[in-house]
Amino acid sequence: MPAPTPRPTIAAMVRYQPNLSAPAVGRIIRLSANEGALGPSPKAMQALATVAAQVHHYPEEEPKALAEAIGQAYGLDPARMVFGCGSDELIQALCQAYIDPGDEVIHTEYGFIMYPMSATVAGGVPVSAPDIDYRISVDAILERVTERTRIVFLANPNNPTGSYLTRSDVARLQRELPENVLLVIDAAYAEFVSRNDYSDGSELVETAENVIMLRTFSKLYAMAGLRLGWGYGPQDVINAMHVVKQPFGANRGAVAAAIAAIGDKEFVERSVAHNETWQPWTKAKFEALGLKCLPSVTNFLMVRFPDEAGHTATEAGAYLSERGILTRGMAGYGAPEFLRLSIGTEEEMRIVVDTVAEFLN
C-alpha cells in the first residue's frame, strides 16, 4: 500500500527554517531573528513568575485585561482585538478565513516569507508585487489586483528590508483597493519608528471595513519566546478569525508578561533609545568597510556584500556562524547578495563589526 501523501502544493513547499543555531563555539550572538536587544522588561519577568502556580488552568479564550491595557496604551477599542500564538498564527487564520482554492493573495517582492507560505497552505495563489530599489511600490501592488484577489499583505515597516511606506501611501493603497479585498497591515516593528509621516495603520481600521492591523510582543518588547501577537480590525474580520484560529492562543505567562511590559514605559523608551544609537552606528561602521546597507527604520539592517569570491554574503554568513554570530541569509528572498542582522547589545555590535572587518580583510 502506498504511504499517505500531503496535498501536492504542500509537498512542493520548503519548511520555514530560521537560523537559530550555530556550531558549539562558546558564546552565541543571535542576530538572525530581530529579537529585542535588551531582553524583556524586568517587570514582565516578574509578572511571568507570578503565574507559575496557575499553569494547570486554561487561560482565557481572549485576554480581556491585556486588551484593555493595549487599548489604554494605544487609544484603541479592546472589543476589536484578537490574540494569537505570535502574529504568524493570525496571518494563517486570515488566510484560512478569507481564501478559497484559487483565490489570489498579493505580497511584496521582499515581504515577510510567511505571507506566501500561509496563502499556499490555505489553497490560495501567492502573487508577488515587485519592489523598486528594495522599497514597496503601491502602484505595483494595485496593478496586480484582479477579480480573484482576496488579501493584500503589507509589512510596514517591511521585513527584511527595513523600509516603510508613509501614512499617505498606505491610505492611497487602501482607497484604491476594491472594497472586498482585505488589506492586512503587519506593523510588527512599529514601536521602533520615529518618523512623523509613519502610521501603524490603526486609524485606517477605524474608518475602513477592509483593513486589519497586526502587532507583536516579539520585537521591541523582547518576548519572542512567549509567542504573543495581536490584531486590531473590524468586528466582522475579528469574528471570522475566531472561527478558524485555535482557542486559548494567548497563554497565561505571555498575557501576564505582556500586561506588565506594555505598562513599563521606561523600558520601552530605553529600548527605543538603544536602537536609535546602535543601529545607525552599526550602519556607519559597515559602510566604512565598503558594504551597502539598505535604509532602515527598524532594529535590523539588510547588508549587501561584494560579488567576488571570498567576500560574498554566503561566505560572510558562514564565517560569522563559525564564530558564534548568527545572521540571516537572504537567498530565500531572492537576494543572495545580502545578509540581514538585528541590533544587539553594544558589546555584541562591536564584536560583529570587528568580525566582519576581519572577514573582509
Question: Is the pLDDT confidence value at 22 over 90?
Answer: no
Write phi, then psi, for 305 (nearest 5 degrees). -105, 160
Q: Is residue 3 in some structural domain? A: no
Q: Is residue 139 in some structural domain? A: yes
Co-location of 158 and 304 in the same domain = no
Q: Which domain holds residue 258?
A: 42-262
Please tell me whether the overall predicted TM-score, pTM, comes out greater than 0.85 for this model. Answer: yes
Angle between helices 265-288 and 346-360 (to 10 degrees): 20
Q: Is residue 120 in some structural domain? A: yes
Q: What is 79-121 written as a DSSP string?
A: GGEEEESHHHHHHHHHHHHH--TT-EEEEETTS-THHHHHHHH
Query: Domain containing 103 — which CATH number?
Result: 3.40.640.10
Cβ–Cβ under 8 Å, residues 307 and 316: no
Co-location of 85 and 154 in the same domain = yes
The amino acid sitting at 174 is Q
What pLDDT is recorded for position 55?
86
Tens of pLDDT along 334-356?
A: 999 999 999 999 999 999 999 99
Cell of 86: 505570535
Cell of 34: 530581530
In this prediction, what percent of the chain has a pLDDT beyond 70? 96
The amino acid sitting at 255 is V
Co-location of 165 and 278 in the same domain = no
Burial class (CB in 10 A: 0-12, 13-18, 19+), 314: middle
Give the alpha-carbon dihedral of 24, 88, 229, 231, to 10 degrees.
Answer: 160
Query: Domain containing 25 — which CATH number?
Result: 3.90.1150.10
Mean pLDDT, rounded, for 241-267: 93
Co-location of 214 and 103 in the same domain = yes
Q: Is residue 126 in some structural domain? A: yes
Give the alpha-carbon dihedral of 106, 108, 113, 117, to 10 degrees.
Answer: 10
25 Cβ contact list (under 8 Å, min separation 6)? 322, 323, 324
Q: Is residue 1 in some structural domain? A: no
Mean pLDDT, rounded, for 77-106: 96
What pLDDT is recorded for position 291?
98
- Separation in Å, CA 159 to CA 112, 222, 296, 322: 6, 17, 10, 25
Q: Is residue 71 in some structural domain? A: yes
What pLDDT is recorded for position 61?
81
Co-location of 225 and 324 in the same domain = no
* pLDDT class of 5 with cuts at 50, 70, 90: confident
Question: Is the pLDDT confidence value at 16 over 90?
Answer: no
Last residue of a domain, one of 232, 262, 292: 262
Mean pLDDT, rounded, for 299-321: 96
Cβ–Cβ under 8 Å, residues 48 and 261: no
Residue 353, Cα to own-chain centre: how many angstroms?
25
Co-location of 32 and 90 in the same domain = no
Among 187, 108, 198, which residue's Cα sits nearest to residue 153?
108
Residue 287, Cα to own-chain centre: how many angstroms?
25
Give the alpha-carbon dihedral of 95, 97, 102, 106, to 10 degrees.
Answer: -40
Co-location of 96 and 155 in the same domain = yes
Q: Is residue 270 in some structural domain? A: yes
* pLDDT class of 120 with cuts at 50, 70, 90: very high
Co-location of 16 and 68 in the same domain = no
Co-location of 97 and 240 in the same domain = yes
Residue with cell 497552505: 121
What pLDDT is recorded for position 25?
64
Co-location of 57 and 192 in the same domain = yes
Cβ–Cβ under 8 Å, residues 68 and 277: no
Q: Is residue 236 in some structural domain? A: yes
* pLDDT class of 3 with cuts at 50, 70, 90: confident
Q: What are the beta bridge partners of residue 84?
A: 229
State how beta strands 300-304 and 325-326 pair: unpaired
Where are the alpha helices (H) located in the chain, listed in sequence order? 8-11, 42-50, 64-74, 86-98, 114-121, 138-143, 167-176, 202-207, 235-244, 252-262, 265-288, 313-322, 346-360
Tens of pLDDT along 185-235?
A: 999 999 999 999 999 999 999 999 999 999 999 999 999 999 999 999 999
Last residue of a domain, one of 230, 262, 294: 262
Mean pLDDT, rounded, for 172-194: 97
- Separation in Å, CA 270 to CA 41, 192, 235, 273: 10, 11, 35, 5
Cell of 249: 492562543
Last residue of a domain, one of 217, 244, 262: 262
Co-location of 195 and 288 in the same domain = no
Co-location of 132 and 246 in the same domain = yes
What pLDDT is recorded for position 18?
67
The amino acid sitting at 114 is M
**Domain count of the chain?**
2
Q: What are the beta bridge partners of residue 213?
A: 185, 232
Question: Is the pLDDT confidence value at 301 over 80?
Answer: yes
Mean pLDDT, rounded, for 4-12: 74
